[in-house]
Amino acid sequence: MLYAITRGLVSAEAACTEQIVYLVSSTQTLRGAGLTVIATNRHAELDYAAMTEHDGELDGDGFIDWPLMTATYWNNTPDDPDRKERRQAECLVHPSVPWQAIEGIVTKNEHARAQVELVLGTAGQPTPLIVRAEWYF
Tell me which DSSP letter residue 71 carries.
Answer: -
**Range in 32-41, 97-106, 116-125 with the lowest mean pLDDT:** 116-125
Give the whole-number percent of the chain exceeding pLDDT 70: 89
CA distance 63 to 51: 9
